[in-house]
Every structure is written in C-alpha cells, then in structure tokens.
C-alpha cells in the first residue's frame, strides 16, 4: 500500500490536488478515473511511520471487540465505526479513525492495519490477512485476542519482577546519599585526630566525596544507565547480553520458559490458521524477544525447508526448553501438531507465570540482605572507633 500525492484536472478542467491510497500505479489511475480526474503529475509519498505502538492489552481488547461484532453479523466497516467512537485515549482513537477511513475506501482490514506503520504487531497483521483469505477472520480475531491477553499477563508479571529490585536499589541509593551527607558527618567530627579503622576511613572518604560532589554521583549513575541503554541498541552487544542472560542460574531458566511459551503460542496460532510452516517460523522468529535465539532461526528454517522434522530443527535451538522438541515430536507422529503446539503453549504459559512468581519471592530476601549489608557496614564503621575510644579510656 502507498499514498499518492497528485495534481490533476477535474471535469471542469480545474486543477486540484490531493492524496489517495493505492496499491500501485494502475490502481492509482483507476481511482483517479473513478473520481473523474485526469492526473497531471503524481508521486508516491514516503510512508510516515505511526509513532504509537499498540500495547498487548490494547491489541487484545481490539481483537476481542472485533471478534464479538463479527460473530453478531456486523460488517468490518460498521465494526470499525463502532470501535472508533468508543472512549479511548487520543492516540488510539486516531489509529482507529484512520482504520475506519481506509476500510471505507475498500482496503481490507489487514491492509489498513499495515498502513498504520508500527501501530499494530506484524504477527497480528499476518494473522488477519490469513483470516481474510480463508474467510475465518472472526475465529482468528478471537484467537489473537486470547493470544495477546496471555502476552500482556506474562509481560506484567515479568515487569513486576524486574521493577521491584530497581525500586529497592533506587531507595537504597537515596538512603545511602542521605546517611553519608547528613548523618555520618556529625559522627565523624568526634573522630578527628585519632587513628581510624580501615572501614571507617573508607566511609569517611565516601562521605567527604558525596558532601562535596554529590551531583557528580547522580550524574555518574545516570550516565551509566544511559550508556547501558545505548550499548543494548548495538546488535552485537544485545546478542551477547541475551546469550549471557540464558546462562544465569535462576533467571536463565525463567527466561527459557518465557521464550519457549511465546514461541509455542505464536507458532500454534500461525500454523492452526493455515499459514505454511516455513512462513510461520520466519514470523515467529521475530517475536521471541532474544537476539541470540532469533539468530539461530536461519538454520532452523533452512533445515525444515530441506526436509528435517520440525522437532529436530527446534530441538537444536539453544535457549528453548527441551520439553518443546519432545512435544512437537509427539504432535508430528500423531498427526495433531497444531493441537500439541496449543497444549504445549498453555503448559509453558503456566510454568512461566509460576516461575516469575518464584523469582519475585527470591528477589525480596536477596534485596533485604543487600540493604542489611550496606546499612550494617555503615553502622560498623561508626561503632568501631567508638569502641576503640572506650577501650582507650578504660
């Protein structure tokens, strides 16, 4: 799909200009003739990518609403008109308005969604295109609603697991700054002109630095965070970082479960909707969420194309739970691969949620221990010289 910017003559030989959506030049000229216009000059406009990307819960809500309306016999155009008039935030409302306008012009829903740039996930667009081709858009929309609802639930749990330690670390950082700049200096005045233990000397040095250069500590921390985010945008760094994450003892096991659940759920949805396995694998490889695993899919697709069973090709991927290959093998032997993939996805979704809950429970005591070590070191640095003074007095 493309947007054509044109200057044309109308039926009264008056110059007019505008923009029209068309698949190609021939489609553009048909649209011009239908409007009674003779194009003088035209060009394809560069596509402006939609800045807002729909979140999984928003995508799930859209798919559920569409499935319910299609099941009630409502047409696509009328369904989009109803959806756009509902109470959404302005960015989403703008996307639905454009969808409604495009389907009114005769574009299919998947074509209209693709014209919104990055607003909709590529997986959702491909699934809707498959549903339109097979006449099962209602079924596909319902399935994708459930798919993105599970994705949202899992992401929310992972976000909770990662947000908790970050919040605690920020609190620890603030508490340490307050202790070193406001509390410890009043104690260290007592220890002037006396020999200090090594730990107290370190704390005294840190306190003096933070008192005089506290802004440098904050700038340094923000710089480290910014550098870390920048490095993760570099493909080679992201590849090695994602590979390292899989080797971490507890976290790596959880991530493998999450990646496996996401892969099995997506492949199940694509394959059961009639998309060829090769195409399904190519699409699925882009949504796993791990650069290291994604890089291995070129070999997976090549092996399946050469006739190797899917179970063997997927079993060679480093980063998936080994139970996935066994489940696929059973599905291949029984001739019920789509059902086995769906069942496997359900099992891994449950395991991912429980593993995330366990990770949160593990993080809590670890963070408490870290805070106790920091606070304990500070208290010890104050108590050691005080005990030394008492011993000297005695």
Q: What is the mean pLDDT of residues 283-298?
A: 86
Q: What is the pLDDT of residue 392?
A: 66
325-313-244 Cα angle (round to 5):
80
319 lies in the same domain as 277: yes
Domain boundaries, position 39: 2-45
Q: What is the CATH number of the domain that holds 73?
A: 1.20.81.30
Q: What is the pLDDT of residues 71-88, one digit of tens each?
A: 988 988 899 889 888 877
Average pLDDT of the residues in 251-279: 84
User: What pLDDT does 106 receive?
Assistant: 82
Q: Which two tokens stand for residue 227?
A: 């550098």
Chain-wide mean pLDDT for the chain? 83
Q: Are 158 and 109 members of one domain?
A: no
Give the residue carrying structure tokens 């202790």. Answer: 179
pLDDT, tens digit, 9 for 90 and up, residues 339-356:
888 888 888 888 877 877
* Spatial separation of the C-alpha atoms in residues 144 and 269, rounded to whole Å: 8
Last residue of some domain: 130, 147, 164? 147
pLDDT tens, residue by residue, 114-168: 888 888 888 888 888 888 888 888 888 988 898 888 888 878 877 777 777 778 7
Distance (Å, whole) CA 254 – CA 246: 9
Q: Are residues 17 and 29 in the same domain?
A: yes
Q: What distance in Å separates the CA atoms of residue 281 and residue 298, rounded to the nearest whole number?
A: 9
Residue 226 and residue 292 in one domain: yes
Q: In which band, very low, low, confident or very high, does the pLDDT at 62 lie, cut at 50, 70 and 90?
A: very high
> What mean pLDDT is predicted for residues 203-231?
84
Residue 123 in tokens = 């997986």
Please indicate, yes or no, if residue 17 is contained in any of the structural domains: yes
Please check whether residue 187 lies inside any domain of the structure.
Answer: yes
Confidence grade of residue 45 (pLDDT, cut at 50, 70, 90):
low
Which pLDDT value is given to residue 223?
92
Note the pLDDT of residue 49: 47
**Rounded average pLDDT over 315-332:** 89
User: Helix or strand or coil: residue 329?
Assistant: helix
Q: Where are the beta strands (DSSP E) in 238-358?
A: none
**Same domain? 115 vs 247:** no
Q: In this structure, are 332 and 387 located in the same domain?
A: yes
The pLDDT score that the predictor gives to residue 378 is: 80
Rounded distance between C-alpha atoms, residue 174 and residue 290, angstroms: 33
Distance CA(282)–CA(263), nearest Å, equals: 11
Q: What confidence tens digit (pLDDT) does each residue in 13-31 have?
A: 888 888 787 777 778 888 8
**pLDDT (average), residues 274-302:** 86
- Residue that the structure tokens 């454009």 belong to: 98
Whether 50 maps to a domain, the answer reads no
Judge contact between 104 and 81, C-beta under 8 A: no
Residue 248 has pLDDT above 70, yes or no: yes
Count Cβ neighbours within 10 Å for each residue of 115-143 and write b for 16 or more, e otherwise.
bbeebbbebbbbbbbbbbeeeebbbbbbb
Q: Say yes or no: 94 and 204 in one domain.
A: no
Q: For residue 193, what pLDDT is reported?
A: 67
The two three-digit tokens of residue 180, written as one number: 């070193």
Half-sphere CA count of 347, side-chain side, radius 13 A: 11
Q: State how many domains the chain has.
A: 3
Q: Are residues 158 and 95 in the same domain?
A: no
Closest C-alpha among 346, 320, 316, 300 to residue 260: 320
> Nearest to residue 17, comparing CAs of 301, 35, 197?
35
Read off the tokens for 251.
Answer: 């976290």
What would the pLDDT profile of 362-391 be if each residue is shown by its tens digit? 777 887 888 788 878 888 887 887 777 776
Same structural domain, 334 and 209: yes
Q: How confident is the model at residue 1 (pLDDT cuts 50, 70, 90)?
A: low
What φ, ψ does residue 55 adopt, rounded to 5°?
-80, 160
At what angle are helices 277-284 and 249-272 packed, to 10 degrees? 140
Residues 73 and 179 in one domain: no
Compute the average pLDDT of residues 286-303: 88
CA proximity to 118, closest of 47, 62, 67, 65: 47
- Residue 47's pLDDT band (boundaries 50, 70, 90)? low
pLDDT at 68 (0 to 100): 92
* CA distances to 59, 95, 97, 234, 269 from 102, in Å: 19, 11, 9, 37, 26
Do 133 and 173 lie in one domain? The reply is: no
Name the pLDDT band for 322 (thresholds 50, 70, 90). confident
Structural domain includes residue 209: yes
Q: Of the candidates 122, 147, 172, which is a domain's last residue?
A: 147
Yes or no: say if 275 and 130 are a contact pair by the CB < 8 Å rule.
yes
Q: Please give the pLDDT value at position 64.
A: 92
Q: Do 17 and 130 belong together in one domain?
A: no
């Amino acid at each position: 799909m493309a947007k054509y910017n044109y200057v044309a003559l109308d039926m009264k030989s008056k110059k007019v200009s505008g923009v029209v959506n068309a698949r190609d030049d021939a489609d553009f000229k048909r649209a011009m003739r239908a409007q009674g216009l003779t194009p003088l000059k035209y060009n394809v406009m560069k596509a402006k990518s939609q800045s807002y990307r729909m979140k999984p819960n928003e995508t799930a809500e859209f798919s559920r609403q569409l499935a319910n309306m299609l099941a009630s016999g409502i047409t696509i155009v009328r369904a989009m008109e109803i959806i756009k008039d509902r109470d959404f935030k302005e960015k989403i409302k703008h996307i639905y308005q454009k969808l409604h306008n495009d389907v009114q012009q005769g574009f299919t829903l998947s074509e209209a969604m693709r014209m919104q740039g990055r607003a909709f996930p590529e997986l959702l667009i491909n699934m809707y295109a498959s549903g339109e081709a097979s006449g099962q858009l209602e079924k596909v929309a319902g399935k994708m609603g459930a798919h993105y609802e599970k994705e949202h639930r899992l992401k929310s749990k992972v976000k909770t697991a990662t947000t908790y330690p970050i919040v605690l670390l920020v609190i620890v950082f603030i508490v340490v700054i307050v202790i070193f700049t406001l509390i410890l200096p009043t104690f260290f005045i007592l220890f002037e002109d006396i020999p200090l233990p090594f730990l107290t000397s370190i704390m005294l040095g840190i306190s003096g630095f933070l008192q005089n250069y506290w802004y440098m500590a904050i700038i340094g921390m923000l710089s480290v965070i910014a550098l870390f985010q920048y490095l993760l945008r570099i493909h080679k760094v992201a590849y090695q970082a994602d590979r390292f994450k899989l080797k971490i003892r507890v976290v790596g096991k959880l991530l493998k479960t999450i990646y496996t659940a996401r892969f099995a759920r997506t492949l199940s949805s694509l394959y059961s909707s009639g998309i060829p396995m090769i195409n399904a694998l190519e699409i699925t490889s882009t949504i796993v969420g791990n650069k290291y695993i994604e890089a291995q899919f070129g070999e997976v697709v090549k092996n399946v194309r050469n006739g190797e069973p899917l179970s063997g090709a997927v079993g060679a991927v480093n980063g998936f739970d080994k139970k996935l290959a066994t489940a696929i093998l059973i599905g291949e032997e029984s001739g019920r691969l789509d059902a086995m993939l769906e069942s496997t996805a359900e099992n891994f979704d449950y395991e991912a949620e429980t593993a995330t809950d366990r990770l949160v429970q593990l993080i809590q005591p670890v963070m408490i221990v870290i805070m106790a070590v920091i606070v304990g070191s500070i208290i010890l640095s104050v108590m050691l010289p005080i005990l030394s003074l008492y011993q000297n007095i005695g």
